[in-house]
């Protein structure tokens, strides 16, 4: 009997609180600042070129070997990034790649809507990753730095309403 009363009390307590559900996808919750979505490549805002210097550290540290890069000779006789492939189906969003990158060229984006109709859709190329990375350049600062203005950066990036605090 006491349990029933306790349960009823909880129901009554919750009855007058605001809803905790939202109408996704019309409404979207603002993700936590350290949310780790799809890894993305950052680009130089002036040239549009990927910041990646093709050192290969991210591919080496990746526990699931889902990063692949093709290095080509540059015009200056050095080496530069040719292609950069992310097999997102294998990615476990650990963020190690973004933490190890010496030039912050790869970052964990806020992208989480990744469903596709076939497996090829899970393979992202350099251009696709750079397009995602270009949306918000400061999502993730080496995995340990301060977050500046992330909530502002998120605001208005998705259609519909962003909700930071759900009571
Ligand atoms: S987040 Fe982790 S699993 Fe995904 S690409 Fe980076 S290192 Fe690999
Ligand atoms: S660690 Fe950074 S610079 Fe090196 S290959 Fe990966 S993304 Fe490029």
More confident residue, 2 or 45: 2
Q: How far apart are CA 43 and CA 26, in angstroms?
A: 30
Distance 6 CA to ligand 1 centre (A): 46
Looking at the structure of the chain, the number of domains it has is 1
Distance 14 CA to ligand 1 centre (A): 40
Q: How far apart are CA 50 and CA 86, in angstroms?
A: 15
Q: Write the CATH number for 78.
A: 3.30.70.3270
In a domain, 71, yes or no: yes
Tokens coding 51: 């910041």
Q: How far apart are CA 77 and CA 8, in angstroms?
A: 75
In a domain, 3, yes or no: no
pLDDT at 58 exceeding the cut of 90: yes
The pLDDT tens digits for 4-39 are: 999 999 899 888 888 888 899 998 888 887 889 999
The pLDDT tens digits for 68-111 are: 999 998 888 888 899 999 999 999 999 999 999 998 899 888 88
**Ligand positioned closest to the Cα atom of 71:** 2
More confident residue, 129 or 32: 129
Residue nearest atom 4 of ligand 1, based on CA coordinates: 91
In a domain, 13, yes or no: no
Q: Residues near ligand 1 with C-beta < 6 Å? A: 39, 62-64, 66-67, 91-97
More confident residue, 136 or 112: 112
Question: What pLDDT does residue 136 have?
Answer: 62
Distant-in-sequence, close-in-space partners of 167: CB < 8 Å, separation ≥ 6: 17, 18, 20
Calculate mean pLDDT across residues 138-162.
Answer: 40
CB 58 within 8 A of CB 107: no
Helix ranges restricted to H, 62-115: 96-100
Distances (CA, A) of 45 to 42, 50, 92, 130, 133: 9, 9, 28, 11, 11
> Which ligand 1 atom is at minimum distance from the Cα of 65?
8
In a domain, 114, yes or no: yes
Residue nearest atom 1 of ligand 2, based on CA coordinates: 101
In a domain, 41, yes or no: yes
In this prediction, residue 65 has a pLDDT band, given cuts at 50, 70 and 90, of: very high
Annotate 92-122 with b (16+ C-beta within 10 A) or e (fewer).
Answer: eeebbbbbbbeebbbbbbbbeeeeeeeeeeb
Distance 101 CA to ligand 2 centre (A): 5
Entry pTM: 0.74
In a domain, 106, yes or no: yes
Calculate mean pLDDT across residues 59-69.
Answer: 95
Angle at 123 between CA 120 and CA 126, to 5 degrees: 140
In a domain, 39, yes or no: yes
Question: What pLDDT does residue 138 have?
Answer: 52
Domain that holds residue 79: 32-145
More confident residue, 154 or 46: 46
| Residue whose tokens read 């070997």 | 65
Tokens coding 115: 């469903």
Residue nearest atom 3 of ligand 1, based on CA coordinates: 91
In a domain, 81, yes or no: yes
């Amino acid at each position: 009997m006491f349990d029933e009363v306790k349960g009823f009390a909880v129901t009554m307590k919750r009855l007058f609180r605001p809803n905790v559900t939202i109408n996704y996808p019309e409404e979207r919750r603002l993700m936590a600042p350290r949310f780790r979505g799809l890894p993305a490549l950052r680009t130089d805002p002036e040239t549009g070129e990927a910041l990646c210097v093709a050192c290969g550290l991210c591919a080496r540290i990746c526990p699931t070997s889902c990063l692949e890069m093709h290095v080509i000779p540059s015009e200056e006789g050095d080496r530069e990034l040719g292609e950069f492939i992310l097999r997102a189906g294998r990615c476990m969003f650990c963020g190690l790649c973004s933490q190890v990158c010496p030039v912050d060229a790869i970052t964990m984006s806020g992208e989480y809507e990744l469903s596709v109709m076939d497996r090829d859709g899970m393979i992202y190329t350099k251009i696709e990753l750079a397009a995602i990375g270009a949306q918000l350049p400061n999502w993730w600062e080496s995995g340990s730095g301060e977050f500046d203005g992330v909530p502002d950066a998120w605001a208005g990036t998705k259609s519909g309403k962003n909700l930071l605090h759900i009571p």
